[in-house]
Structure 1
Amino acid sequence: MQEQLEKEFLTRIQQGFPVSRRPFADLADELGSDEESLLNLYRDLKERKIIRQTSAIFDTKSLGYKSSLVAFKTDDIDKAAEVVNAHPGVSHNYERDHDYNLWFTLAVAPDSKLGLQKTVEKLAEMAGVEDFVILPTKKMFKISVQLDVKGDRAKKQKVARAKREPMEMEPIHYRIVEGLQRDIEPVAEPFTPLAKSLGMSVEALAAEAERMKRAGIMRRFAAILYHRKAGFKANAMVVWKVPEERAEKIGETVAAYSAVSHCYLRPVYPQWPYPLFSMVHGKSKEEVESVVEEMAREIGVEEYRYLYSTREFKKVRIRYFSPEFADWEARYAS
């Protein structure tokens, strides 16, 4: 009974955690439990390092940031990782089994004096890397990290395309963005302190959060899990060499697989001929590769590579509009 509740709870809060006055009570009503039991369960899952963080997931581009996936080729990966990790716009940084062995996502602020290209060049210079490629998103087919902890999800699902409603960001929204980025506390009313600091009710905060969601500024307010502790011990960034004229159709097909959390079209270079990127998760390496082989047969693509992560150097959510961005540029960009 408890194990089933845990799976139901983890599934639900990955899809979305309610921004409301008493969210654990709301979830308890939905899941047939009670508020105290879910609060205790949440604390336990945090202590066991199954839940990593529960906070807002914002759309980087909608907030005016420029971002890209970047790959470094380096002989001193520990030094390079230390340099890269120090940038506040780096959210993910991994060692992967390839000549390009350090892979990270980088975002630069709207008012960056350096911009994305020069920031990467500066990081490469500081890290002393041999070569690098900058791989911005040309087209996004899917971004949705929701692990199938219940094991009952269909193998393929249609990727929803929500229509965005126009919204003008006002000063209060930047303060809401800053506040909703914080990991929630395991208390009955986790949003009350933030609402009070903003001079509004929790209901008004929830309404503005919903507006930002409809506008595409906030993707969702949800939990992310520690993959391995949640039973998903393997993941691979699978890159595909696909013909340009079929790239979009193939991307849509790959994105439909439930095991795929991210799917993007990116640029190619003479030294990097793979435009389609997909992140595939599974409970074992064999499960990941079985799904990938099935995809390859369906899309008719023979040239692809597995890039398994061998070390995680950094995985955090970016603190948007933090003074750390300007501080980093003032320190390193002169």
Structure 2
Amino acid sequence: MARLRARPKVRSRKYGAAVPLSAEDRRLLNLLQGSFPLEERPFAPLAAALGRSEEDVIDRTAWLLRKRIIREITPIFDTRALGYRSMLVAAKVDPEHPHRAARVINEHPGVSHNYLRDHEFNLWFTIAVEPDSALGLEGTLDVLARLSGARSMRMLPTLRLFKIRMDLEMEATTDGLAAPVEAVEPRDPEPVPLSDWDIAVIRATQGPMEACPRPFDRAAARLGVGTDEVLASLASLRERGALRRVAAILYHRRAGFSANGMGVWKVPEERVLEVGPKMAAFRGISHCYQRPTYPDWPYSLFTMAHGRSKEECDAILAAVARETGIEERATLYSSTEFKKVRLLYFVDDYRRWEERYGG
């Protein structure tokens, strides 16, 4: 079994150290990540679940935001359901100065994640382009390869999606994270028809929300309608698959999850549909996809494990191997995070980038 181990750089990380959290904080973070309701006063049912007052829960949420444990509370839209094309890309860039290539690639507004990993393909990023992009995804990558000086870029689009769930389990032990829960069916989001009103709602609601009694009111004011109409529109987008949920996104390190390991697995094609759901069922696995293979890259299933240490990530991936019987794998750990943001949709930044760099 091949193992690829990162050699993390020793560096000062402002706001990087984990913050001690109480059991109540951890439970609140779990609720904010998975159970934030589409209601005019969404903190009220969260407070009821915690047995606390609405004011207390809002105040504590505001503290978690100030302490940079919560990155933001925001609607999470499905990129592909909105008609955007996206993929994971592995690039070979100058190993002595990878930050130079990363800086160029990060300028594209559709790059949401960009990591340095310990591999010949050392820069791994996700990118999305608009439905009406003049360059398209492949053309955009050609431009980025030229601008960044990348010697090679390998396109790794999603062939099958088994799981995407970006929340961190704040209460479970290592055994809990390394235990399978329930198998999931693969899903392949297709673009959904969007009206001008749908797009206006997406533009008005995307981005960080305030920790306040009525956080959806600001979007309603932008649109000149009642909050109930905004919530009804968001509920409709959720039912059609364009909105996954509204949730808190955490700073992993500040929340105590200092490691993420990308486990890649050599799975025979005839077993992908059997094995993928089993891998996705583990609580410590946030993402599970089937991606294309290449002569020098035989790994068809990708899983992302998040843990409070490298050892915890290793335990999660070892449990996946035991459950599935797949032993040919590699683990790529990130040593530097160059970019991690939420995408903004239907904004002018994409058009401006193409006008500037697309010729």
Which residue among 281, 289, 293 is the counterpart of 1:256?
281
User: Would you say 1:296 and 2:321 are equivalent positions?
Assistant: yes
Determine helix, strand or coil for the equivalent of 2:161: strand
1:252-291 deviation line (CA, Å, top 9, x unaligned): 1111111100000001112221111000111111111122
User: Aligned partners of 1:261, 1:160: CA distance in 2, in Å?
Assistant: 13
Within 2, Cα distance between the matches of 1:162 and 1:135? Answer: 18
Give the Cα separation in 2 of the matches to 1:295 and 1:110. Answer: 36
Question: 1:177 matched to which residue of 2?
Answer: 202
Cross-structure match for 2:168: 147
* Deviation at residue 22 of structure 1 after TM alignment: 1.8
Q: Displacement, 1:297? A: 2.4
Correspondence 1:203 to 2:228: yes
Kindly provide the amino acid, as one letter, of the partner of residue 266 in structure 2: K
Could you tell me how far apart the structure 2 residues matched to 1:78 and 1:35 are? 44
Q: What is the SS of the residue equivalent to 2:22? A: helix
1:280 aligns with 2:299: no
- Do the aligned residues in 1 keep the contact of 2:83 with 2:192 (CA within 8 Å)? no
Q: What is the rounded CA distance, in whole Å, between the counterparts of 2:143 and 2:152 in structure 1? A: 13
Equivalence for 1:54: 73
In the TM superposition, residue 165 of structure 1 has moved relative to its aligned partner by: 12
Alignment of 1:1-334 (within 5 A): 3-75=22-94, 76-151=97-172, 155-159=179-183, 168-334=193-359
**Superposition deviation, residue 166 in structure 1:** 10
Offset from partner CA, 1:87-127 (integer Å, 9 cap, x none):
00001111111111100000000110100011111101100
- What is the TM-score with the length of structure 2 in the denominator? 0.88
Task: Tell which deviates more after alignment, 306-315 or 202-211.
Answer: 202-211
Question: How far apart are 1:178 and its partner, in Å?
Answer: 1.2
Sequence identity percentage: 44
Secondary structure of 1:14's aligned partner: helix
1:53-93 deviation line (CA, Å, top 9, x unaligned): 11111111111110000011011311110011000000111
The 2-side partners of 1:128 and 1:263 are apart by 30
Alignment gaps of 5+ in structure 1: none
1-structure distance, mates of 2:38, 2:281 = 28
Moved more, 294-303 or 216-225: 294-303
Letter in 1 for 2:212: V
Mean alpha-carbon deviation: is it higher for 156-165 or for 89-98? 156-165
Cα gap change, 1:107 to 1:19, in 2 (>3 Å): same
Matching residue's letter, 1:158 = E
- Whole-angstrom distance in 2 between the partners of 1:78 and 1:160: 38
Q: Kindly provide the CA deviation profile for residues 160-195 of structure 1, in whole angstroms up to 9, marking residues without a partner as x.
A: 559999964211110111122120112222111211
TM-score normalized by structure 1? 0.95
Please give the per-residue CA displacement for 1:213-265, whole angstroms capped at 9, x wherever unaligned: 11110111111111111111211011111111112211111111111000000
Q: Is the 8 A contact 1:20 1:202 kept in 2?
A: no
Offset of residue 199 of structure 1: 2.5
**AA at the equivalent of 1:157:** V
CA RMSD of aligned residues (A): 2.0
Distance 2:285 2:340 in 1: 19
Per the alignment, do residues 166 and 85 of structure 1 end up closer, same or farther by CA in structure 2, a change over 3 Å counting? Answer: closer
Report the counterpart of residue 15 of structure 2 in structure 1: none
Q: Is the 8 A contact 1:141 1:251 kept in 2?
A: yes
Question: In the alignment, residue 292 of structure 2 is paired with which amino acid?
Answer: P
Equivalent-residue separation in structure 1 for 2:306 and 2:126 (angstroms):
19
Displacement of 1:298 in angstroms is 2.4
Taking the aligned partners of 1:197 and 1:291, their CA distance within structure 2 comes to 44
Judged with a 3 Å threshold, the aligned counterparts in structure 2 of structure 1 residues 122 and 57 are, in CA distance, closer, same or farther, namely: same
CA distance in 1, matches of 2:117, 2:192: 39
In 2, the alpha carbon distance for the partners of 1:159 and 1:214 equals 22
Matched-pair contact (CA < 8 Å) for 2:81–2:192: no
Q: Is the 8 A contact 1:263 1:279 kept in 2?
A: yes
Equivalent pairs counted in the alignment come to 333
SS in 1 for 2:81: helix
The whole-number CA distance in structure 1 between the counterparts of 2:104 and 2:183 is 37
> Counterpart of 2:16?
none
